[in-house]
Amino acid sequence: MTLTTAKWSIDEYHRMIEAGILENRWVELLKGEIIEMSPEGEPHAYFSSEAGEYLIKLIGGLAMIRLDKPITLPNNSEPEPDIAIVQRLGREYLTHHPYPENIFWLIEYANSSLEKDLEIKSKIYAEVNIPEYWVVNLKQRQLVVFREPQDGEYAVKSTFIDGTIYPIAFPDIEISVSAIIAKY
């Protein structure tokens, strides 16, 4: 017997949220499926918060740094990345979460969700042409950087343990890898 899962649109997902059906559930919509999110452990929460503050100080005038907030993607996905570096659109975000064209890059911190973040989310983000996606592997204290989305996958994948990186959106801004991966 073949099982078929029910797929949900973003509008249906929003109606469930508004109706309180998903209240007290930590979930996100990925490719039309409602997925339980892993609980955030203390290191995850601490390191992503520290990196968020670092990025706010570094590029806060050029972009909005959103921590643990949804983004809306046309492939029936509404993930909640740990950090989203997006265009400053002011009150426009009262009517919608950032769309792919509003996103400079995304950052996920991963421990138990590492496989999902490296395999599933990277494809979801590449499919909608988000130019850059970073995954911090908390176990190995590594920064995995995905760039150049092509045909639903990123063509370039690099791993950093230290040094500096220049985001595609802001090539003149030097970001300390140590500040992102919390390797002090």
> For 6-35, how does the pLDDT look when each residue is reduced to its tens digit (9 = 90+)?
899 999 999 999 999 999 888 999 999 999
Q: How confident is the model at residue 111 (pLDDT cuts 50, 70, 90)?
A: confident
Given CA atoms 75, 40, 91, 169 in this order, what sign does their dihedral have?
negative
* β-bridge pairing 83-86 and 64-67: antiparallel
Residues paired with 6 in a beta bridge? none
- pTM, full prediction: 0.93
Strands (E), 70-152: 83-86, 103-110, 132-137, 142-150
Mean pLDDT of 88-105: 96
Q: What is the pLDDT of residue 183?
A: 60
Mean pLDDT of 24-50: 90
Mean pLDDT of 47-53: 94
Please determine, for residue 37, whether its predicted confidence score (pLDDT) is greater than 90. Answer: no
- Spell 140-162 as b/e; 16+ CB within 10 A means b: eebbbbbbebeeeebeeeeebee
Judge whether 66 and 83 are in contact, CB under 8 Å.
yes
Q: Which residues, 6+ apart, have CB-to-CB distance to 132 below 8 Å?
A: 104, 105, 106, 145, 146, 147, 167, 168, 169
The Cα 115–Cα 113 span in angstroms is: 6
- Indicate the fold that domain 40-181 takes in CATH: tt1808, chain A (3.90.1570)
Q: What is the pLDDT of residue 121?
A: 96
Please determine, for residue 46, whether its predicted confidence score (pLDDT) is greater than 60. Answer: yes
